[in-house]
Amino acid sequence: METRSAKRRKLRNPEHPSENNTGEDRITDLPNAVIHHILFLLPIKSIVQTSVLSKRWRTLWYTFPDLDFTTVIPSGTALTKFVYLKNLGNVITQILSLRHKLSNVRILRFCACMTFSGLHALIRTAVRLRVQELDIRVATNDTFNFPRSIIRSDCLRVLKVKSCPGFRLPPSRIMRSGFRTLQTLSLSFVHLDNQSYLLDMFTDSSFPQLRKLNLDSCFNLKHLRVGCRLLEELMLDNCSTLQVLDIMSPRLEILRVSSCFDSINIDNTLFQIDAPRLHTIVWANTSITGKSCMQNLVCLCEVTIGFLVRQENLDADKLRSVSSFLFGFSHTEFLTLESPFVEIMLKNNPLATIFFHPFVKLKSLELHTSEIRGLAKLLKVCPMIHTLIIKITNGLKTERRWNNRNVWDLSSSWEEQYWESQTNDLKPLLRFLRVVKIQGFSECENDIIILVKFLLQYGRVLQDLIFYPGDYTSRGYHRHEKFKSRIMGFTRASLDAKLAFY
């Protein structure tokens, strides 16, 4: 029997000039794997449309290994989208049932509204087709049990499950019996009413190949221990009931903790970590822990801190907890402190400076704040930074409007005297500081002007002062021009100091 490719070569033969006008179809002759790679660059709707081209292309659609249904979002009313998402699960199940046993699924991503039975049936079919990456975003009528068929998969590499209103995990002994090949795990909206202590789940024996772990909105999670040997990235988000976080992962490089820990029972909270390869940590909108123990953070480079703390609860014990936490990061090179932590530590808090430890290796300091006057307290403990970035936030901005010109002059004079009094303490900083970036200064121009005047007057190695205003209205333009003219008139201790306005 003549093959398709042989027939095309015969048609291209000069002996059949009348039939050689159809041209060359090089794409159809390519191997399936190559065509699949080309189709991967297209949305799945376009891939489905190719099935009408010929019998071969219809077969190609049935064997396409990467099924991403998240790219097909219908336009129209909310009711139209709801009906589409409600029917999508059944459509995907039918598509998977038509595939040949040898046409395995490499990637399956979808977002749908489904019943428990429909979801479990779909996942069983995907596991039977040896799916390697499974990304599920599903809405159900109520919380459901985690599909155990996933656990038994021997080829799953990536698993992401996000459900509303949520799902329940099986017992730890069941979870530990599978996931031999899993490398990425992301679980969102997990109900842990009966197992709030996950102490022996995320270990080498349970997840021997795990490299990325993301836990989001784990309800009633109190104690989490992570000890996977190959883990490189750990992200925790919205685990507000968390009390103890214990991490011992020798290859961990990135840690992100956001909106976690019990903000009421701070004294009972503990953060403990031993990660010799950790280079980045983000602690955002997260409460202070009563105790912290950080070991072997010898590679730590970038730290972002955004404590969720209240001024009325910040007594001496809480300040000691903050001090102990920051001391674990005292050897970092790039530090970012976010609002409102900066304001609370600097504004009306004379005890704050007592508990700060020097950041002797710090090269870059970024502050998200609206409190400019008290920055000297922080700059004293950062004596060797070469880059200072100040981003004015909206949280506690205070715009000054003086009706009396003399009152404004007295206030400015007092602030200038304050910065002058800090000259001796800031001498180490002024010997290293080279770059200053200030963003969004429209709401506290007077404070910024006085700070810039001080830096220009005493910064002998200063090279660049860069300003990014936050107000782009016509009125704001004239204010920025006045601001610029005042700044340009200041004397400069450094002949290399350049000012740039954007």
Three-state SS string over 347-380 comes to CCCCCHHHHCCCCCCCCEEEEEECCCCCHHHHHC
Backbone angles phi, psi at 88, to 5 degrees: -65, -40
Q: What is the pLDDT of residue 408?
A: 41
Q: What is the pLDDT of residue 373?
A: 77
**Would you give the DSSP letter of residue 427?**
H
Question: Residue 404's pLDDT band (boundaries 50, 70, 90)?
Answer: very low
pLDDT of 471 above 90: no
Q: What is the pLDDT of residue 68?
A: 86
- Give the range with max mean pLDDT: 88-97, 170-179, 363-372, 435-444: 363-372
Instruction: Kindly state the average pLDDT of the residues 260-274.
Output: 87
For residues 255 and 162, give the distance between their C-alpha atoms in angstroms, rounded to a whole number.
Answer: 21
Q: What is the pLDDT of residue 79?
A: 56
Q: What percent of the chain has pLDDT over 90?
A: 40
Average pLDDT, the chain: 82
Q: What is the pLDDT of residue 304?
A: 95
Instruction: Kindly state the average pLDDT of the residues 475-495.
Output: 83
For residues 296 and 251, give the distance between their C-alpha atoms in angstroms, rounded to a whole number.
Answer: 12
DSSP states of 123-166 as a string?
HHHHHHTT-SEEEEEEE-SS-EEPPHHHHT-SS--EEEEEEEEE
Q: What is the pLDDT of residue 399?
A: 43
Instruction: Kindly state the average pLDDT of the residues 161-185.
Output: 90
- Give the range with max mean pLDDT: 1-15, 29-43, 437-451: 437-451
- Give the range with max mean pLDDT: 60-64, 317-321, 458-462: 458-462
From residue 145, alpha-carbon distances to 111, 126, 237, 390 in Å are 18, 18, 22, 48
The helix or strand, by DSSP H or E, that contains position 175, with its residue range, turns out to be helix 172-175
Output the pTM of the full model.
Answer: 0.83
Question: Residue 168's pLDDT band (boundaries 50, 70, 90)?
Answer: very high
Instruction: Kindly state the average pLDDT of the residues 124-144.
Output: 92
Q: What is the pLDDT of residue 468?
A: 87
Q: Specify whether the CB–CB gap between 279 and 253 falls below 8 A.
A: yes
Q: Specify whether the CB–CB gap between 184 and 207 falls below 8 A.
A: no
pLDDT of 351 above 60: no
Q: What percent of the chain has pLDDT over 70?
A: 76
- Give the range with max mean pLDDT: 55-59, 105-109, 273-277: 273-277
Question: Residue 403's pLDDT band (boundaries 50, 70, 90)?
Answer: very low
Residue 103 three-state SS: coil
pLDDT of 405 above 50: no
Question: Residue 470's pLDDT band (boundaries 50, 70, 90)?
Answer: low
Question: Residue 305's pLDDT band (boundaries 50, 70, 90)?
Answer: very high
pLDDT of 280 above 80: yes
Q: What is the pLDDT of residue 340?
A: 79
From residue 388, alpha-carbon distances to 52, 262, 370, 440 in Å are 60, 33, 15, 15
Question: Residue 355's pLDDT band (boundaries 50, 70, 90)?
Answer: low
Question: Residue 161's pLDDT band (boundaries 50, 70, 90)?
Answer: very high
Please tell me which residue, 29 or 386, carries the higher pLDDT value: 386
Instruction: Kindly state the average pLDDT of the residues 420-427.
Output: 90
Q: What are the strands, taking DSSP E only, across 34-78? A: 66-68
Q: What is the pLDDT of residue 483?
A: 83
Question: Residue 223's pLDDT band (boundaries 50, 70, 90)?
Answer: very high
pLDDT of 411 above 90: no
Q: What is the pLDDT of residue 229?
A: 94
Question: Residue 437's pLDDT band (boundaries 50, 70, 90)?
Answer: very high
For residues 342 and 328, give the distance between their C-alpha atoms in angstroms, rounded to a whole number.
Answer: 18
> Which of 131-145, 204-218, 266-280, 371-385 has the lowest average pLDDT?
371-385
pLDDT of 420 above 50: yes
Instruction: Kindly state the average pLDDT of the residues 47-60.
Output: 62
Q: What is the pLDDT of residue 174?
A: 85
pLDDT of 135 above 60: yes
